[in-house]
Structure 1
């Protein structure tokens, strides 16, 4: 089911359809697991990220619902995060290997990839209750679907247009603030916050594509490229933290030295590129962009 909201339809019905579609897809993916357990968890978490972005868009109108359901979704995603996070670290080390600066570094990073694969496989064996969690999670998601069915938005098209524009403006303002924090303090936390706000922004571009399909598609693509960069930065930070927390997985000092050197180099490159791209993505004035969204919405319902 498309993740979208059409302005010329009932907003309550469109909200329920968009939210319910993501939840239903997550249930189906966890039940069928067409590409295996790890990919099912990855797809499930993407569904929940889109859903939480949708809830933030309307949070000013239904704050209690959004607070409660965001907590529900955050907790259920966290319960299935360990194995997927371990897989993401493997992908991060492979990314470093693909971008190695010389053959010696590539060889060392290949050893790191193998060590992380061994760690992930050991975790999968040790986490004997992962299948139980996968079986129980759909019931939590069905409760979330029931909660969505109780949501109702009052008011006509003008009020709805203001609600959507307000949510859009709030996200862009938070993104601008996150960019400022990244420029002042290049920490893992500041860049992760920027990534979350960019993910919200991209979700809205997909959700509201019917307002202006060509422009939204173009915005979606450039925002996706920013999120990819920020994702690499986040994963590098997590990998660096793992080296400190679990040094037993990296017993070869030369391999570890190459890994840390590659992480530092790639972080610097990616952070610089991400900030340049973020300035492009969030170049428009937040209020002017929100006003444009409101006008486009009203134009389609007048």
Structure 2
């Protein structure tokens, strides 16, 4: 695996926002950035049309990554940026290049008027199949959006980063997921807010409704399990402040709420190789569509 940040670029507003986010992330991690422009060959009859000649198509397909590289180098001095054009289907190409990267960054359209993403078929397919972390960034995402407001209440890139939020299932606290979240908080110099949402069993629902003592017992057990899962990572990252939250309810709902004041939301996706397609899991799917911050999906076994 090459230590590099990769982003998919097609010239759209969402892909440009993803490229800017990827550039900032590459600088935080002191890694080079590669822009991958997937070029789908035009059928021969269309390529011969007067307005879509081969020369015109080649001109535009080369101009998109060239202009993007020039702009990123100008706005991010010192960043090592390269571009590559790859023929093929976008989902297949991006899934393949993700396997050779530290992380892959993709753009996604924002939902009109509200926070969240409009995740297209390409993005969902890549997230479902890639075995490296994939970050989804909305169109219009700005650097200031990931920072705390200034004294006047206005988001500013000059202030501290907002917390990184991690959704964690203590019953499957995978190392890859924890390491990605702690590293993301460390490079930002910010707090890691770990949210463990749990839905009680029918027996627990009954017990919670009739016994305050049972409520305290179950909540205490979850909090202890969460603390135990995080203890070795606190030792590995002593400079990262960790806030633990073990809360009753649907995990995705708590994570979407937490995303409103987050710089990044991190969720996991269990790798399950299926004969027909792949799934990303209910929590990751809900967070991808409704979070108000960039979302990183980390595949794990």
TM interval, shorter chain, is: under 0.3
> Which of the two has greater helix per residue?
1
> Which of the two has greater strand per residue?
2
**Bigger RCO of structures 1 and 2 (CA < 8 A, at least 6 apart):** 1
